[in-house]
């Protein structure tokens, strides 16, 4: 069985190890979703990851409701991402952009209009806004004649990601955001060709993947799914046939890798007793399969590889306070603890002030 420290080929990307950095929303862009200078240092500090998957990055203002998250729909955003990717590459790293449309998980005060979703539904709880948390609003269903425009938004974001120097893209189809809202039957109440049957509910995911592949090539495209939960109230009555069907579609398209966000009963973000579906998905997805959720030790991550259910692991929160995580795991060094109060501080604290091991020891 491969080790966490063995290299792996992820489509067109040669990764030197199987310790990948999961997407982590950090909120350090400006109000126009333009990356800031701090983000160059943050990502460069973590360049030893086998691959960095960027924080979720909006494909449009409609789709980006998280305050101070970055985007990829304007020339200014592209120009500001370029120093990030250049610096990561200069440090020997690899980085892909995660493409994000949040669907109903936004607030009109941020996006400037009513949220959109598969159907006229609302998320329970409150949305993050520039003025603090506000109640989620009822979304309007995307009209059939709007789907081509949505696909063009994904196409533009993919072109912009490549122009900004990213090595590829990941389609965010997990965690209760727009594509997940189309996939799951408690959010998708449509009666047209995008609703009802599993084949119809998977249609948008397939069309988005096909459009993104048409720009970047299948070997530079990946997808994130969250089949067993962590979906912000977006659930399905029978997830196994749904997500094995989705995985089969993606396998047939030949994407570079599929990442599964699989929370457990003690998950940091989302807790569930729903069994993990990676074993079932492994049977139908023939490409590189990667799993994620609260891995913090070599032993538990290596056990996942040894089981045959995954080819690599994405580490999330652990990368916040441990920018040189692969080296710490390789040497058995202690892991630093992060401070959740500074995750979204908008400043350098809790962002670029966690030292590498050699600095910490000194």
The catalytic residue positions are: 177
**Contact 90/45 with Cβ under 8 angstroms?**
no
Measured distance CA(199)–CA(190) in Å, rounded: 13
Among the listed residues 155, 182, 183, the one whose alpha carbon sits nearest the alpha carbon of residue 169: 155
**Contact 17/51 with Cβ under 8 angstroms?**
no
CA–CA distances in Å: residue 294 to residues 261, 313, 318: 10, 10, 8
Residue 270 corresponds to which tokens in the numbers above? 């989302």
The separation between CA 112 and the C-alpha centre of its own chain, rounded to angstroms, equals: 24
How are beta strands 13-15 and 8-10 bridged, if at all?
antiparallel
Measured distance CA(194)–CA(200) in Å, rounded: 5
Q: Quick count: other Cβ atoms within 10 Å of Cβ 37?
A: 11
Measured distance CA(185)–CA(65) in Å, rounded: 23
String of DSSP letters for 272-323: --SPP-HHHHHHH--SEEEEESS--SHHHHHHHHHHTS-SEEEE-THHHH-T
Measured distance CA(165)–CA(58) in Å, rounded: 17
Q: Where would I find the H helices in the chain?
A: 37-45, 75-90, 108-111, 147-163, 178-183, 198-201, 203-216, 239-253, 278-284, 298-307, 318-321, 325-331, 357-361
Query: Residue written as tokens 């950090």?
Result: 26
């Amino acid at each position: 069985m491969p080790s966490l420290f063995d290299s792996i080929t992820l489509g067109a990307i040669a990764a030197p190890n199987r310790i990948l950095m999961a997407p982590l929303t950090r909120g350090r862009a400006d109000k126009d979703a333009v990356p800031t200078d701090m983000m160059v240092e943050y990502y460069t500090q973590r360049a030893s990851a086998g691959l960095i998957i960027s924080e979720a990055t909006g494909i449009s203002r409609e789709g980006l409701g998280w305050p101070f998250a970055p985007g990829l729909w304007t020339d200014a955003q592209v120009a500001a991402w370029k120093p990030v990717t250049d610096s990561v590459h200069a440090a020997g790293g690899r980085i892909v952009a995660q493409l994000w449309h949040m669907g109903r998980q936004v607030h009109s005060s941020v996006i400037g209009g009513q949220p959109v979703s598969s159907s006229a539904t609302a998320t329970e709880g409150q949305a993050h806004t520039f003025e603090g948390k506000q109640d989620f609003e009822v979304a309007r269903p995307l009209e059939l004649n709007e789907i081509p425009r949505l696909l063009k938004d994904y196409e533009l974001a993919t072109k912009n990601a490549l122009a900004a120097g990213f090595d590829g893209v990941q389609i965010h189809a997990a965690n209760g955001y727009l594509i997940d809202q189309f996939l799951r039957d408690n959010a998708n109440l449509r009666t047209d060709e995008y609703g009802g049957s599993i084949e119809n509910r998977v249609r948008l995911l397939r069309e988005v993947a096909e459009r993104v592949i048409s720009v970047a090539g299948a070997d530079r495209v990946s997808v994130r799914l969250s089949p067993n939960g962590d979906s912000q109230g977006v659930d399905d009555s029978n997830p196994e046939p749904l997500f094995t069907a989705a995985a089969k579609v993606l396998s047939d398209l030949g994407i570079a890798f599929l990442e599964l966000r699989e929370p457990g009963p003690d998950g940091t973000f989302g807790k569930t007793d729903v069994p993990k579906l990676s074993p079932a998905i492994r049977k139908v997805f023939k490409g590189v399969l990667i799993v994620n959720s609260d891995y913090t030790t070599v032993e538990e991550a290596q056990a996942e590889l040894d089981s045959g259910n995954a080819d690599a692991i994405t580490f999330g929160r652990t990368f916040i306070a441990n920018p040189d995580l692969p080296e710490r795991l390789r040497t058995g060094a202690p892991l630093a603890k992060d401070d959740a109060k500074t995750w979204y501080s908008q400043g350098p604290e809790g962002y670029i002030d966690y030292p590498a091991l050699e600095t910490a020891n000194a």
